[in-house]
Structure 1
Amino acid sequence: MPVRVDDAFDDIAVPQFGNPREISSQAHAHLRRLINDGVIGPGTELNQADLARRFGVSRVPMREAFRMLQQEGLIDVQLNQRAIVRALDAGEVDQLYGVRITLESLGARITAGHITAEEVVEAKLLLTTMRRTRRDRNMSEWITAHRQFHSLCTARAGDPLARIILSYSERTERYLRFVQQAHPDSFAAAEHEHEEILAALVAGDAECAGSLMAHHLSRTATRVLADLAAGGDGPTVRQALAMARGGC
């Protein structure tokens, strides 16, 4: 039986809304963060009307927030304005990361040799932030810096490619958080991988940058698959990695 969010989380945080025109996106971002952080766990029932009352907003923006969460694959919407937070799924991991590996390694190839000096400085500052926040176990801030770093690594990808890459980055964030919680010591290795990717981008080695990016993303996917599917195979991830593999 689903757990109702108001039964399980009486003290759930209420967001501070700013621009009235952005209430739906702000409610979406807030609920998305709670789901990705595991505050609202898989199997939890969410009710549009209840949450609208709790957040002090109308049902219209809450309905739109639910639509965006459903589009991201975070909830399954049912009848009567209710939704269930989806469970982590090995098949979804394989599909999402397979696509992300393919697109983001392409974005890195496009960016190699064309990353600006200002972007390099910013990327190095973000790497410093990630090291600090990992030591402090402030993984929420780490996630933000990590997302920004990856965006710089694909900075020359224009629309619609950049928009699609960002979409898949956001949709895999839940699984990245899962790895953080299950394997908190695994992120030290990622620091070296990030440095290698940045070095390849600066050197203009497109083949190496794409290959390093693919291996970096596949490592997270493989770890999640091992936990969710008891060592199960990820055929989409495997094929995406084979496509992106270069001579690096």
Structure 2
Amino acid sequence: MEDENPPVVAPTMPEPRLVEPTALEIVRTRSLASLVAQEIEAMILAGTLAAGERLNEQQLAVRLGVSRGPVREAVRGLERSGLVVSVRNQGSYVRSVSTAEALEIYDLRAALTGLACARLAGTASAADRAALEALVARMDQARRADDAPAYYGLNLDFHAALLARGGGPRTRRLYEDLGNELHLFRRRALVEPENMRESNAEHAGIVAAIAAGDAAAARAAGEAHIAGGKRRFQSTDASATHAGPTHAPDSAARDPGPPPAKAPAAPGGRPRRAARSATN
């Protein structure tokens, strides 16, 4: 005999689908100028826009499918971050860093890195130490595989982690601005295996000092690491070529002649390449 009251089966609800945000939703959460700045920055770091090259707002607007207003605002923002320089009555150019400027940037980065390492030695949690140790281990794997792009990307992550955990907002902002200026040439050359080995040994020394809670040793290790990168950079015969011309377009404001339309640059590639010996 059939059951007069069969059980009620609830309808099966479909699995929720992850929906990619539309272009309109992205623009609603981020300004159009910031999106344009992100695209222009990617072109600069990839070498599509070379050091010393003039930024044509109309061409960029057409290329990105926007009006000139967001491009102009984006260029002003990139100027504040150090990637672009404006020359009076001439226009805006991709910043070209001279060897002398690069060496000064190394000195400034050494001070900021040492400060962050010293602070982190007194505040690092077990999770902080584990994250840094994991990055050092992954860099060692990339070094053994002779994978320079992977090593350099992890190297950037390591330094970002040091500053995120040990630096205050102002320290991080200064460090990022200085790093942006160096990206113009650090990402376009090869990293030699011996320099990767030496650089990562210095990373391990920084982590060991932080783990020991020794602020003085951590500061010294951080500063010595950046100084080592500066020395490795100086030992590269082609450093001047990687850094661009001996004077950047911003010096053209003091020079009657216009800046070059295109500065010498090393072969382009993925924007995660480092200067031959600037592995820090």
TM-score in terms of structure 1 length: 0.72
Aligned to 1:184: 192
5+ residue gaps, structure 1: 1-15, 231-248
- 1:88-127 aligned at under 5 Å gives the runs 88-127=97-136
Aligned to 1:5: none
Q: Give the AA of the match of 2:92.
A: A
Q: SS at the partner of 2:49?
A: coil
How big is the shift at 1:103? 1.7
Q: Is the 8 A contact 1:48 1:81 kept in 2?
A: no
Q: SS at the partner of 1:83?
A: strand
Tell me whether 1:25 sits opposite 2:34 in the alignment. yes
Distance 1:25 1:124, change over 3 A: farther
Q: Is the 8 A contact 1:93 1:225 kept in 2?
A: no
Aligned to 1:149: 158
- 1:162-241 aligned at under 5 Å gives the runs 162-178=172-188, 181-185=189-193, 186-226=195-235, 227=237, 228=239
How big is the shift at 1:221? 2.3
Q: Is the 8 A contact 2:43 2:49 kept in 1?
A: yes
Tell me whether 1:68 sits opposite 2:77 in the alignment. yes
5+ residue gaps, structure 2: 1-22, 242-280
Q: Is the 8 A contact 2:121 2:211 kept in 1?
A: yes
Distance 1:225 1:41, change over 3 A: farther
How big is the shift at 1:149? 1.7
Distance 2:185 2:229 in 1: 8
How big is the shift at 1:138? 6.2
Count the aligned residue pairs.
212
Aligned to 2:255: none
Distance 1:163 1:93 in 2: 18
Distance 1:170 1:69 in 2: 10
Distance 2:105 2:203 in 1: 21
Distance 1:220 1:50 in 2: 38
Distance 1:59 1:164 in 2: 29
Aligned to 1:48: 57
**Higher RCO (C-alpha under 8 Å, 6+ residues apart):** 2
CA offsets 1:113-170 (integer angstroms, 9 cap, x no match): 321111122222323333445536362x544432332233241332323332333333
Distance 2:38 2:153 in 1: 13
Aligned to 2:19: none
Distance 1:85 1:156, change over 3 A: closer
TM-score in terms of structure 2 length: 0.64
Tell me whether 1:58 sits opposite 2:67 in the alignment. yes
Work out the percentage of aligned pairs sharing the same amino acid.
27
Distance 1:96 1:88 in 2: 10
Q: Which has the higher Rg, Structure 1 or Structure 2?
A: 2
Aligned CA RMSD, in angstroms, stands at: 2.9
Q: Give the AA of the match of 2:172.
A: A
Q: SS at the partner of 2:97?
A: coil
Q: Is the 8 A contact 1:176 1:220 kept in 2?
A: no
Tell me whether 1:159 sits opposite 2:166 in the alignment. no
Q: SS at the partner of 2:161?
A: helix
